Structure 1
């Protein structure tokens, strides 16, 4: 649980490239996520070119961290690989969380930028990266060396826990 309690959303990064082997570690962690019927319906686009990060950072008002990140990991849901209708979002959510936890383990900072299901965001990303129709651009995860350590706030709220019944 200590790793879970260290994870936080990091939106500001140092101007220092993350080594490819650490990005590969994040992708290995992503692919260890549980998925409905073990379909593993994910694919990834790794973006590191400055002009691409700049373009993606302008796709919606909350995407600005993409500009300064070392890498962006775009998680895609492959509809041809999904075995249980309506579960792909859960599969990709677990996949994303694994990336975020592995980033924390590696000493990296990361933040999950939501794209799906907001249609204009999805369409912009699909068009820009030439993503085929059978793939849903689910999210963009910004990854980099954190500019500062920052503080993690504990969020446990006992009033939100109900035993046996509401």
Structure 2
């Protein structure tokens, strides 16, 4: 997708700015929230955009780092190709009531 798109944004985490200790992986949540905001903004502009995962697959991380000449402490989370969609399919209906649990986990639901 990125090859065909006129634009791609790479969302990265800067590990030199990450907090230390048990919260060091919070950069993933922060970058994920930023990515979701970016995807919503693209949709609002009637652009097509898709989250293509990079992290935590080491081979993908290394390849993106190589292509963009990123230092070791800059970790790409994803690549977001953006452009005008060739088609506008209806949203997929992924609602499954059996995936919702109330007050406690219920087996077989």
Shorter-chain TM-score bucket reads 0.7 to 0.9
- For 1:52-71, list aligned pairs within 5 A: 65-71=1-7
Alpha-carbon deviations, 1:11-43, whole Å to 9, x = none?
A: xxxxxxxxxxxxxxxxxxxxxxxxxxxxxxxxx
CA distance in 2 between partners of 1:104 and 1:90 (Å): 21
Structure 1, residues 113-144: CA drift from partner, whole Å, max 9, x if none? 11111111111111111101111011100000
Larger Rg: 2
1:131 to 60, 63, 70: 70
Residues matched between the structures, number: 102
Inter-partner Cα distance in structure 1 for 2:46 and 2:67? 30
Following the alignment from structure 1 to structure 2, what is the Cα–Cα distance between the partners of residues 150 and 156? 17
Question: Counterpart in 2 of 1:82?
Answer: 18
Deviation at 1:154, TM superposition (A): 2.2
Q: Distance in 1 between matches of 2:25 and 2:62?
A: 20
In structure 2, distance between residues paired with 1:153 and 1:126: 33
In 2, the alpha carbon distance for the partners of 1:109 and 1:160 equals 28
Q: Find runs of 4+ consecutive structure 1 residues off by over 3 angstroms.
A: none
CA distance in 2, matches of 1:124, 1:79: 18
CA distance in 2, matches of 1:113, 1:161: 27
Gaps in structure 2 of 5+ consecutive residues: none
Deviation at 1:80, TM superposition (A): 1.7
TM-score with structure 2 length normalisation? 0.88
Spell out the pairing of 1:82-101 with structure 2 (5 A cutoff): 82-83=18-19, 84-101=23-40
Following the alignment from structure 1 to structure 2, what is the Cα–Cα distance between the partners of residues 108 and 137? 22
TM-score (norm: length of structure 1): 0.59
Q: For 1:137 and 1:73, how far apart are their aligned partners in 2? A: 10
String of CA shifts for 1:69-91, please: whole Å, max 9, x gaps: 11000011011222231211111
What secondary structure is seen at the aligned counterpart in 2 of 1:80? helix
Structure 1: state its 5+ residue gaps: 1-64
